[in-house]
Amino acid sequence: MTHTDAATPHTPQERAKLARRAAVASLVGTAVEWYDYFIFGTASALVFGPLFFPNPDDPIIGTLSAFAVFGVGFVARPLGAVVFGHFGDKVGRKVALITTLMLMGVSTFLIGLLPTAEQIGLWAAALLVVLRLAQGFAVGGEWGGASLVAVEYAPADKRGAYGSFPQIGNAVGLVCSTGVFAVISLLPDEQLFSWGWRIPFLLSAVLIVVGLFIRFKLTETPAFREAQAQLEAERDTAKAKEKMPLAQLFRNFKKPLLLAMGMRLGEAVFGYIVLTIGLTFVENYTDIPRTHVLIASSIAAGCAIYTYYFFGRYSDRIGRRRVFILGSLFGAAVVFPFFWILAAENILLMYVVYTLAYAIGVGAVYGVEPAFFSELFGTKVRYTGVSLAAQIPSILIGFWPMLATALFAATDGDPWPIAALTVASLAVGLLCAYLAPETNRSDINEVGEDIR
């Protein structure tokens, strides 16, 4: 018996226990990491402009500059996907995930300690950019690894349900980040801009300790152990030809990579309408108090905690493609009404449309992505493939809030161009989902081999 065999649970009870532990670990760790990431986006819309890019003549220019820094983090994400994907595929999922969490935590905490432009001038913005790059680098390897841990441990007929747990963690992180900012936004502006904005960033220190404690208890997934055992056997028979996971990915899995990237593009462009762009529109072109938008975002994300699981589990029954396509169609239908309601300054309807847009429009597509994307790639390249599929589109997505803000400024707050671009992006994702194979009945150890 090999060491790998000895480490493998043999009873259904043991496997079920480890699967639940892996799902919870993915949820908690992802919640902590995305809390750190989301508070930067919220701060960009609310406070970073005047603090780091002051422009008394036109505050929207400061917000535009803050969103440019927000987008810089997305540029680093593909690099993080390559680096952590390589270690995740070659060394193990656990090591990569612990490293991403530590890097994210330290970067976020240090943002909370940064001096502002009033104190050190341009150096404040430069330091903010450096820490944002570190955040993006960490996130580049986070989502793919957390998704794989949940999916590769899951029972064959529940990969969609278990794969939704990292997405639930994402929603929990969003609830916590917008919730904290909703509270501190009640402070008078003088206190908010002097010390209040730092609180969400400094709180991350406590959350990181919790996340690391959970992740240190993880073990490697059965699929990864099996792939490593196969590689060892090939070495023993002199058949192994060691290749970089990235090289194998581009050689053998170009089609699934492109399809997953297209699906990710549509989902993320629509998601950021709710996460940041709606807040920017309200803050600059309506009289709706910003606290209402932050609370609406928190409620929407809270509902998504349930809809992610529902759609993930539902995809185990009817297929990933169908659920993804339905979510894309719903998102396209709700984009224009979303902005119409905000422009009308109807607060009650704003709560409704925020909840529906995020819980259903984002929930259906984002909820199935971990299982869907994981099932498109072979085990030896899965970490790299899933991470790059999510992060390469991020180069465009990261500057989407900045572009939207610029379009608002150029059109005096007309949301029509932003809504039209969002619908076009959702159409790209829908088309890619239509062209992708249905994988919900595949063997996780064989999946991806027949769709190259």
Residue ranges of the domains in the chain? 17-220+252-435
Does the structure show a pLDDT above 50 at 23?
A: yes
Percent of the chain with pLDDT over 70: 90
Assign domain 17-220+252-435 to its CATH superfamily.
MFS general substrate transporter like domains (1.20.1250.20)
What sign has the CA pseudo-torsion 410, 411, 412, 416? negative
Does the structure show a pLDDT above 60 at 439?
A: yes
Mean pLDDT across 36-41: 77
Residue 217 burial (CB count, 10 A): 12
CA 81 – CA 387 distance, rounded (Å): 5
Q: Evaluate whether 180 touches 203 at the Cβ level (below 8 Å).
A: yes
3-class DSSP assignment, residue 152: helix
Does the structure show a pLDDT above 60 at 240?
A: no
HSE (side-chain half, CA atoms, 13 Å) at 63: 22
* Chain segment 300-319, per-residue pLDDT in tens: 988 999 999 999 999 999 99
Does the structure show a pLDDT above 90 at 280?
A: no
Label residue 2 by pLDDT band (50, 70, 90). Answer: very low
Tell me the average pLDDT of the chain: 84
Backbone φ, ψ for residue 162 (5° rounding): -70, -35
- pTM greater than 0.95: no
Q: Evaluate whether 31 touches 104 at the Cβ level (below 8 Å).
A: no
Q: Which residues contact 71 (CB under 8 A, 6 or more apart)?
A: 398, 399, 400, 401, 402
Confidence at residue 450, expressed as pLDDT on a 0 to 100 scale: 46
Backbone φ, ψ for residue 32 (5° rounding): -65, -45
Confidence at residue 124, expressed as pLDDT on a 0 to 100 scale: 86
